[in-house]
Amino acid sequence: MKDKSLIRSQKLIGRIIDQRKRRQYQSALAEHLQHVGAFKKHASITEPDELNLRGRRVLIAEDSYEQARELADLLRSMRIEVVGPFPRAREALKYLEHDQIDAAVLDIFLAEGNALGLAKALCETHIPFAFLTGYQREVIPAEFRDVPYYCKPCSSKEITSFLSSAIR
């Protein structure tokens, strides 16, 4: 009997911790978005290749707040409209039901699962995307082996190059 109550207590504690993490992420994301407004006013284009990216919409699926922020800041500095970042694939898929994007950058493993369903949806709609992950290329299923792959950390030049070639 004690084992069952201990397991219930541990599950409850796990849910409380997950809720706190979710609230912390949402709070940090909201704070980041406030800073982005000021950042957008002072962003500048630094590379000639970036000119064709101005105003384009790029979705980010990344569950690490810091990495999502860094990538979003990079894209915004190129005057790209950032969609997301989404920490879960289902949130990104829900967004895609109602709006259009020009390209996407996906981490393979996200909160509550992976981005493979999202990758399939992007393939079906012919939206270019790249994987940006800390995992080795071998974890990518064979059907996605031709998708551009970048290992974290990658340079801004690699991301810019991918987007410039993918978005025309």
User: Nearest CA to 152 among 75, 76, 70, 88?
Assistant: 70
3-state secondary structure of 132: strand
User: Omega before 85 cis (within 30°)?
Assistant: yes
CA pair distance 141, 122, nearest whole angstrom: 15
Q: What is the pLDDT of residues 14-50, one digit of tens each?
A: 677 667 766 766 666 666 666 555 554 444 444 445 5
Higher pLDDT, 65 or 37: 65
Please tell me the predicted confidence (pLDDT) of residue 66: 92
Decide if pLDDT at 12 tops 70: no
Give 101 or 10, the one with higher predicted confidence: 101
pLDDT in tens, 98-137: 999 999 999 999 988 899 999 999 999 999 999 998 888 8
**Exposure class string for 11-41: b at 16+ Cβ within 10 A, else e:** eeeeeeeeeeeeeebeeebeebeeebeeeee
Write down the pTM of the prediction.
0.69
Q: Domains (ranges, CATH) in the chain?
A: 43-166 (3.40.50.2300)
